[in-house]
Amino acid sequence: MPSARLPELFLEKLRRIIPSNQWDKVLKTFAEERPTTFRINTLKTSSASLKERLEPQGFKIENVPWYKDAFILRKGRQKDLEKTGLYTRGEIYVQGLSSMVPPLVLEPQPGEIVLDLTAAPGSKTTQLAALMKNQGRLLANDNNPIRVEKLKANAALQGASAVEVLPAGDGGLVWKENFEKMDRVLLDAPCSSEGRFQLDTPSTYGYWKDDTNRKMAKDQRRLFKSAFLALKPGGTMVYSTCTFAPEENEMLLQWALETYGDALEIQDVALPLPPHTRGLAAWGDLKFHPSVVKSVRVLPTPDVEGFFVSKLGKTRQVEPPEPFLPNP
């Protein structure tokens, strides 16, 4: 059975999350190697002649039905794709399909001020820049100096001139320089990464313990506060993770609703998406606010990793949690 070496408690919890008619399919994905996937960088090129440019080089690619700029590499190796001019000129970006969902849900518009709070190495940041057509301001933050340099390099290669990479710093403090200034905020939060567990790679799940989800949720709440405080009234925020655990997803949203009351609303995700379910209505004895089910949990398939995505709106101003001197 493919689940033999995965943590038993993880599997017990997962069985309560995944619909029973999808269980066997989902379980098999932990033993499958996913193909290379990538998106076209629309700041530099288009997908119009992509197949004609790649297939003579021995590659076979397949369109992704829910995202016209995304492709699956069905024949050929990633390392060979990375030697092509398309890659070295920054005309494509290798990225997991589920990772492309949060920027699409955020729907940033040209001319807006947008924040990517945990941005490195830049896959979603550069996608946001392309969706904004490089028009507006796109602030990108990460707390790791080495990853910040990678973020800068990726933004430069992709021609993402709208990106302003902040000095490496604590995402939990970013709101102090940007209180209620952002039209949109993406928080793709550091998480337990359960959606990336691979049975033949113990390092992908060997760190997981009974309290991993609870510990991650503590950091996620702090980042969520910063993201929401940076968001303008009337603005839109996306909170996402690459994990299944309700502690890091629905329970986080429940905490946010209790913390910010009617200043926060959970909105429907109305875009085409990979296979998914709605958010859970309850977890054990804990019943969630009815709007929590508007979030989506992307189900893992042979092509797509598990993911969780929620779209949030800020309906009014909120009081900062501590005195500070905002920039003019």
Pairing of strands 137-140, 113-116: parallel
Q: What is the per-residue DSSP string for 226-276?
A: HHHHHEEEEEEEEEEES---GGGTHHHHHHHHHHHGGGEEEE---S--SSE
- Given a contact cutoff of 8 angstroms between Cβ atoms, the answer to whether 244 and 13 are in contact is yes
Q: Is 242 a catalytic residue?
A: yes
Q: What is the per-residue DSSP string for 178-237?
A: STT-EEEEEEE-----GGG--TT-GGGTTT--TTHHHHHHHHHHHHHHHHHHHEEEEEEE
Among 72, 81, 242, 280, the active-site one is 242
Return d(Cα 293, Cα 185) in angstroms, integer: 21
Task: Give the pair of three-digit tokens for residue 63.
Answer: 């369109």
In three-state form (DSSP H/G/I as H, E/B as E, the rest C), the secondary structure along 89-114 is CCCEEECCCHHHHHHHHHCCCCCCEE
Give the catalytic positions in this structure.
242
